[in-house]
Amino acid sequence: MARAESKMVMGYLPIDLKHYAAILLLIAPAQPAVRLLDPFAGEGAFLEAAAQAWNVTPYANELDGERAAACIARFGATQAVRCDVERLVASNNAFGAAWLNPPYDHDAAASGSKRVEFRYLRHAWKWVQDGGLALWCVYRQHITSEAAAFLAKHSSRVDIWALPGKHLGQYDQIVVCAVKGEPSDSAALYERILRARDIPRILTVQREPVYKLPPPRAIQRFVFAPDMLDEAAGLKLIEEQGAWKTNGFQSLLDVPPPSTEIEPVVAPRPGHLALVLAAGVADGAVIETDEYGQVALRGKTRHVEQIARVEVEADPNDPERQIKKTTIRLKPTTTLSLLASDGTTVEMEGDEALLGFITSNKRALAQYLNSKFKPMYGFDFAGIGDWLDRIRLKGKYPMYTAQKHVVGAVARGFQSRNSILLIGSMGTGKTLMGGSAAISIASGVVKSLATDIRPEQVVLIVAPPHLIEKWKRELVSIAPKAAIERLDRHEERPNLRELKGFAGIPSYHTRTAGRCTCAVACKPRRSCPNGYHDDRSDGRCLPSSVQGIRAESPTADAGRRSSAPISLPRHLSGCTAFCQIGIRFQNLCHHAIRPPNAA
């Protein structure tokens, strides 16, 4: 008979009802937030009585199926589980008290002492919080020198109470009450435990409680669950939460929606094929392959657990034992499924298999991409090719053709989209391309966006401090007539004559900090955004006007310091823009608040 099955039928000895009163009156009532654990609960009768007497929340574990069912009926499925105690998953240091009435049994396959009473005490010790009370109900002979040494080493107080009478007519049954903590003198406590074992104190009904449970310990995520599943529990889960009830299963039965064309800024390149397949964008595509004939594609990406490292360290609750810690990392893995016309299914998993399929069927996949994606940008420089040809970095270096196409694609994309991400490796010229795109929009070069630019707007560039001067140099070389000024704090006001009409930026918050970008500009002798007027030549808003701005724009905060300096370009033509890299970033920043009488 297997050990788990053997323990289900042997060694189950519930505490006699006649001892309830004396045991329950040992502990003063606590608060419901305190947790009481019984890892060998049987049918849960004593645990239920103790939880009521001590005013705590009970948690029960039982291995036997019928007795576990009785516990679940008493306490509910979240507070009662069926599991081998050595496979119970519970939060460490989470229980203010534990009633430990283990099976009175031996394990012939165990190393060292064959008795399980002390082994289960040591195993359950980690669940009791510091200052918590462990009540170990065993026979007197079970307090071996090994058990006494363990209790003396990990307890601040240990009392041994003898239950009146002989258990089963021949055994002396005792209750060891141990308060988990650091002992003041471990050797002295060890001697007292051995003396108390030989001459235990008879447990009678006490006039006053002897023990007080500690306040509950704050736990970020409390866990109490079995690490095993029997047939009955599995069948119940299937009936109540079957796979056919999940959204994922039901979605497989839904009629797929008609295929829609995807409109990216630029068409995917051959190097994007793996990303398209991994993301599931090509799901349902039917292509002709050389190896499998006509197939339908379905791709998905899942995360696979990989063992990064394994560490072995001493158990803080029991240095004689070791804990093995395994660090798991998740690695994304793509699976490509092919459904042939004859019903054959082919599964390909991993980067190597995916690359091989793309290499063998590059032409068919490219034809699918061309039919599926309708790019906005047609590699025609979006009508600003002549302007791009005149740009000279540092006064002498023209833009590369690829860089011109990037700026053209950004200009075309902002005509239909609110945001664009420009990503490139170091040295590709992101500052040049981003600055050119912003200036082209702000200066009115992009005719289709000229009406989106208001005179009171500026281009706002938020960058790390060490890149601000680089931005200024390249912006000046791109547009020598642009007025550009660096602001290290949002309270600062521009000093340039061309920017004197702007009150500066009362507040801005970067998106990377979890907030939006906000800015407000107002001119002298014109109403501020909140309706207040200021005739001072520097264009500063009154303090009350700042309060009004904050009221209209909840994310604005005139007192917050900037985490990054700012560059403010304004073209002498009067056309200005407000954005991070263009006016169309409407979902990344608030609109600039227009003064009531602005043009």
Q: What angle do CA 32, 35, 39 make, to 5 degrees?
A: 145
CATH number for region 3-231: 3.40.50.150
pLDDT tens digit sequence for 309-346: 888 888 777 777 788 888 888 888 888 888 888 888 88
Query: What single DSSP character describes residue 252?
Result: H
What pLDDT shows up at residue 239?
Answer: 75
Our CA dihedral for 134, 139, 140, 145, rounded to 10 degrees, sits at -70
What pLDDT shows up at residue 353?
Answer: 82
Task: Specify whether the CB–CB gap between 228 and 85 falls below 8 A.
Answer: no
What's the CA gap between 299 and 281, in Å, rounded?
Answer: 8
Q: Read off the pLDDT band of 107 (50, 70, 90).
A: low
Task: Specify whether the CB–CB gap between 287 and 91 falls below 8 A.
Answer: no
Mean pLDDT to the nearest integer, 555-581: 35
Task: Specify whether the CB–CB gap between 458 and 577 falls below 8 A.
Answer: yes
Is pLDDT of 57 > 70? yes
Tell me the percentage of the chain whose pLDDT exceeds 90. Answer: 32
Q: Helix, strand or coil for residue 301?
A: strand
- pLDDT greater at residue 132 or residue 269: 132
pLDDT tens digit sequence for 369-389: 777 778 888 889 888 999 999
What's the CA gap between 10 and 317, in Å, rounded?
Answer: 29
Phi/psi of residue 573, nearest 5 degrees: -70, -10
pLDDT tens digit sequence for 138-172: 999 999 999 999 999 999 999 999 999 988 888 89
Q: Read off the pLDDT band of 113 (50, 70, 90).
A: low
Choose among 19, 39, 11, 14: nearest CA to 162. Answer: 19
Q: What angle do CA 62, 64, 66 make, to 5 degrees?
A: 105
Q: What is the DSSP string of 76-129?
A: -TTTEEE--GGGEEE-TT-EEEEEE-----B-TTSSS--BSHHHHHHHHGGGEE
Please identify which residue in the block is written with the tokens 């002979």.
141
Task: Specify whether the CB–CB gap between 414 and 584 falls below 8 A.
Answer: yes
420, with CB counted inside 10 A (0-12, 13-18, 19+), is middle
pLDDT tens digit sequence for 509-526: 333 333 333 333 333 333
Task: Specify whether the CB–CB gap between 168 and 200 falls below 8 A.
Answer: no
One-letter amino acid for residue 296 of the chain: A
Query: What single DSSP character describes residue 453?
Result: -
Q: Using only C-alpha atoms, what is the Rg of the chain?
A: 37
What's the CA gap between 347 and 289, in Å, rounded?
Answer: 15
- pLDDT greater at residue 394 or residue 47: 47
Is pLDDT of 201 > 80? yes
Mean pLDDT to the nearest integer, 539-568: 36
Question: Longest Cα pair distance anywhere in the chain, in angstroms?
Answer: 106
What's the CA gap between 15 and 161, in Å, rounded?
Answer: 14
Q: Of 206-210, 424-428, 589-593, which one has max mean pLDDT? A: 206-210
- Domain boundaries along the sequence of the chain: 3-231, 267-372, 381-571
What's the CA gap between 135 and 121, in Å, rounded?
Answer: 10
Tokens for 297, please give them. Answer: 């594609």
Mean pLDDT to the nearest integer, 254-269: 74
Choose among 89, 69, 70, 58: nearest CA to 230. Answer: 69
Is pLDDT of 67 > 50? yes
Q: Residue 102's CB: how many other CB atoms inside 10 A? A: 25
What's the CA gap between 120 and 102, in Å, rounded?
Answer: 7
Tell me the percentage of the chain whose pLDDT exceeds 70. Answer: 76
pTM beyond 0.95: no
Kindly give, in sequence order, each residue whose CB lies less than 8 Å from that of residue 326, ignoring residues fewer than 6 positions away. 307, 309, 310, 311
- pLDDT greater at residue 107 or residue 466: 466
- pLDDT greater at residue 235 or residue 111: 235
273, with CB counted inside 10 A (0-12, 13-18, 19+), is buried
Task: Specify whether the CB–CB gap between 409 and 415 falls below 8 A.
Answer: no
